[in-house]
């Protein structure tokens, strides 16, 4: 895999690149980042379908994954401590690193500039963040002022959209629920500790398995157009299937692309940064900053649209995310709050690992919305 060496930060990013579709000059580029547990190999099945959909795929390994630079022990200590200020500084540094990668890649690969001709958008790039990877995207759009101005201006000329692909619930500002409010096998004291590890019987099935029995209920509940029609939160959570259906997928290939060492060393601590004090205001700012009239602040990346994608057969914690974001959007609507361009998509029959299970459908979705 190619490596991007960002000398200003002493960081190397490892990524996979399908290259430009043969004979095409108006293609769009998708930069996709993984979530917890897996490296960029979780998206390799998408590659076969990229060129036929006029797409170039860049599958980025975040730090601690693949051959990307690990975090130092001092950086990890910041994450595992309880002081929010250095944790925010930590995430600001990640924003700068990702901006540097985007700017480096644009210049190195000379990808087509984004443009629109007769209503058809071509060129540029879109960013897809899956699951826990949204910690980095929400930080990027919530803390954009830390990006050097020259890089920001360059990225704005190319970046088309940001796809929040079934995000983890703390990253949209949703509080962690008690085990009585939303059962989680990993919080159950009756489950042996050894069974709760990434090598245990629950971790991967929970991430990629289907939770089919409550999917229709969740889809209908979140398809309402008025805030008054949204069910109360605890009622909604109480009807979600909390353990997956028997897993039909072959898990052996998934084990080959697992990055277990990164789970507890850095990724879970990143997700565990205080949702109410960090991720919630960051997402609020990403949605609304600069779009709400005089006094609301400067708009960064004003032409970048957000696409929310929620899978209703996903693990209940990410279905919870879909509820939380739906409520935010309905509140904005009722309050007359202006936002950047936002679209909300639900898929009743898809699970958290949809791209692994049905890659052709997923790449077509990304091509249509990104």
Task: Give residues with Cβ within 8 angstroms of 92, minimum separation 6.
Answer: 139, 143, 146
Q: What is the pLDDT of residue 370?
A: 86
Q: What is the pLDDT of residue 294?
A: 55
SS3 readout for 211-234 = CCCCHHHHHHHCCCCCHHHCCCHH
Q: What is the pLDDT of residue 252?
A: 74
Q: What is the pLDDT of residue 88?
A: 98
Note whether 19 and 83 are within 8 A (CB). no
* Among candidate residues 272, 275, 283, the one with its CA nearest the CA of residue 327: 283
What letter would DSSP give residue 143?
S
Q: What is the pLDDT of residues 21-68, one digit of tens each?
A: 999 899 999 999 999 999 999 999 999 999 999 999 999 999 999 999
Ordered structural domains, the chain, with CATH: 3-174+204-369 (3.40.50.1820)
Q: What is the pLDDT of residue 102?
A: 98
As beta bridge partners, residue 347 has: 311
Q: What is the pLDDT of residues 264-291, one digit of tens each?
A: 999 999 999 999 999 999 999 999 998 8
Q: What is the pLDDT of residue 295?
A: 57
DSSP secondary structure string, 31-50? EEE--SSB-GGGGGGGGGGT
Q: Which of left, alpha, beta for 162 (phi over 0: left; psi -120 to 50: alpha)?
A: beta
Q: What is the pLDDT of residue 296?
A: 63
> Can you list the residues of the chain whose pLDDT is less than 70?
293-296
> Given the structure tokens 């959909």, which residue do they identify?
53
Please give the torsion angle defined by the CA atoms of residues 338, 339, 345 and 351, in that order, rounded to the nearest 10 degrees.
-130
């Amino acid at each position: 895999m190619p490596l991007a060496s960002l000398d200003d930060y002493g960081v190397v990013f490892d990524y996979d690149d399908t290259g430009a579709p043969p004979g095409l000059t108006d293609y769009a580029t998708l930069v996709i980042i993984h979530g917890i547990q897996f490296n960029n190999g979780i998206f390799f099945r998408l590659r076969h379908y990229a060129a036929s959909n006029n797409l170039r795929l860049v599958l980025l390994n975040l730090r601690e994954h693949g051959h990307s630079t690990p975090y130092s022990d001092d950086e990890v200590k910041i994450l595992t401590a309880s002081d929010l200020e250095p944790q925010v500084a930590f995430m600001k540094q990640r924003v700068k690193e990702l901006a540097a990668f985007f700017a480096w890649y644009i210049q190195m690969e000379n990808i087509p500039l984004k443009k629109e001709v007769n209503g058809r958008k071509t060129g540029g790039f879109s960013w897809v963040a899956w699951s826990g990877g949204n910690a980095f995207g929400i930080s990027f759009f919530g803390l954009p002022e830390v990006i050097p101005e020259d890089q920001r201006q360059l990225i704005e000329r190319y970046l088309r959209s940001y796809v929040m692909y079934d995000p983890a619930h703390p990253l949209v500002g949703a509080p962690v629920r008690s085990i009585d409010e939303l059962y989680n096998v990993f919080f159950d004291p009756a489950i042996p500790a050894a069974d709760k590890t990434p090598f245990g019987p629950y971790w991967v099935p929970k991430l990629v398995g289907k939770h089919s029995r409550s999917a229709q209920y969740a889809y209908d509940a979140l398809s309402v157009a008025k805030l008054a029609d949204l069910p109360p939160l605890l009622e909604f959570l109480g009807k979600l299937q909390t353990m997956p259906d028997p897993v039909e997928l072959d898990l052996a290939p998934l084990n080959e692309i697992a990055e277990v060492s990164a789970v507890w060393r850095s990724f879970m601590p990143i997700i565990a940064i205080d949702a109410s004090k960090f991720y919630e205001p960051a997402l609020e700012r990403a949605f609304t900053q600069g779009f709400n009239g005089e006094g609301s602040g400067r708009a960064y990346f004003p032409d970048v649209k957000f696409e929310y994608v929620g899978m209703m057969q996903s693990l209940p914690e990410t279905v919870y995310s879909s509820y939380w974001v739906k409520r935010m959007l309905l509140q904005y609507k009722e309050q007359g709050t202006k936002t950047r361009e936002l679209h909300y998509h639900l898929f009743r029959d898809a699970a958290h690992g949809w791209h692994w299970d049905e890659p052709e459908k997923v790449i077509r979705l990304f091509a249509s919305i990104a």
